[in-house]
Amino acid sequence: MLKVLILGGTSEAAELASRLDADGRFEPVTSLAGRTRSPRPVPGGRRRGGFGGAAGMAAYLRSEGVAAVVDATHPFAMQISEHAREACGKIACPLARLTRLPWTAGAEDDWREVETVAAAASVLAPGARAFVTTGRQELGPFLSREDIWILVRVIDPLDEPLLPERGTVLSARGPFTADDEVGLMREHGIEWLVSKNSGGRSSYAKIEAARQLRLPVIMVRQPVLSAGGQVYQSPDAVIDWLGGISD
Ligand code: NAP
């Protein structure tokens, strides 16, 4: 069986793990950064926590006899993808990236596109009430804006709660429907949505909800990764590629 390391943390990674686990040719092991205290179970093997940079990942790949790596991490998780490129290059381990096409704005969408999360915080209108969905690790620029009120949704509670006059933190785990998101944004009087352009289906409902409510969206563009490995947009395409390695 071909041992495949899946760099995970996304719904696409979980789908790939499930497909590979059900296919007798492959032995998938999903690696998670360990940011979520109780992550959803994934089929196949699992490991948690950083590798210790590219050198640590290369050592892991060798010692565990990994035959191929699939980088299915979030499009904004740049560092782990760069480490995978370096580690696989160093020990000549086949690498593919399972990624998602970015979302595109339709005629009814009102998007303000920016390059970084910090820029997103700076373009919010004075006094805005914003639903900030860019992740718990990047709240700093929004907390520095003392004139705005933010709604934040996280899986595990924040270590320090927000003062009520600065915002509200909800603990919830998706997926959410567009109706859920419309209800939530109405309940909190949201005037702006801030989102990363993550692409894919699993977190698109908030974009649909903003469209229905005619709210402006501050959209952080996907970063550009350096080239390295094959790039695929579906688990099927990755499985075909892995099939070629196992033959
Ligand atoms: P990052 O900035 O690219 O990675 C920072 C460090 O965390 C890496 O150098 C690595 O540590 C460790 N790491 C990250 N992903 C890992 C994985 N799958 N397995 C083992 N170690 C991992 O990543 P991030 O933006 O913090 O994202 C962390 C995880 O959350 C990823 O798995 C990603 O798919 C998921 N996620 C991220 C976002 C986002 O917006 N960034 C959104 C949803 C989900 P070492 O150098 O020690 O190996």
| Average pLDDT for runs of 10 along the chain of length 247 | 97 97 97 93 97 98 98 96 97 96 97 98 97 95 97 92 92 96 98 97 96 98 86 96 89
CA distance 232 to 241: 9
Which among 30, 40, 71, 79 is the best mutation to test ligand 1's pocket, defined by most ligand atoms within 8 Å of the CB? 79
Query: What pLDDT score does 225 carry?
Result: 82
Dihedral sign from CA coordinates of 228, 242, 51, 160: positive
Closest CA to 95 of 77, 110, 83: 83
Question: Which of 73, 88, 221 for mutating ligand 1's site (highest number of atoms within 8 Å of CB)?
Answer: 73
- Answer yes or no: is the C-beta of 229 below 6 A from any ligand 1 atom: no
Give the distance from CA 27 to its chain's centroid.
24
Measured from the CB, is residue 80 less than 6 Å from ligand 1?
A: yes
* Ligand 1 and 196: CB distance under 6 A: yes
Q: Is 76 in the pocket of ligand 1 (CB under 6 A)?
A: yes
User: What's the confidence (pLDDT) of residue 159?
Assistant: 87
Nearest CA to ligand 1 atom 8: 80
User: pTM for the complete prediction?
Assistant: 0.95
Length of the chain: 247
Nearest CA to ligand 1 atom 37: 74
The answer, yes or no, to whether any atom of ligand 1 lies below 6 A from the CB of 53, is yes
Give the pair of three-digit tokens for residue 119: 């820029």
Among 42, 71, 80, 197, residue to substitute to test ligand 1 (most atoms within 8 Å of Cβ)? 80
Can you name the residues that pair with 132 across neighbouring β-strands? 152, 194
Q: From CA 115, how far away is CA 120, in angstroms rounded?
A: 8
Query: How high is the pLDDT of residue 62?
Result: 98
Closest residue to atom 28 of ligand 1, CA basis:
33
Q: What is the DSSP letter of 52?
A: S
CA dist., res. 240 & res. 173, Å (int):
32
- Evaluate the CA torsion angle 10, 14, 16, 17 in order and state its sign: positive
If you measure from the C-alpha of residue 128 to the centroid of ligand 1, how many angstroms do you get, rounded to a whole number? Answer: 30
Give the pLDDT confidence score for residue 228 in this predicted structure. 76
**CA–CA dist 187, 121 (Å, integer):** 22
Edge-first strand order for the sheet with 111-114 is 111-114, 217-220, 192-196, 129-132, 149-154, 167-171
Asked whether 43 lines ligand 1 (CB < 6 A), one says no
Q: Compute the CA torsion angle 148, 153, 159, 164 (nearest 10 deg).
A: 40
pLDDT for 88 equals 97
How many C-beta atoms surround the C-beta of residue 120 within 10 A? 26
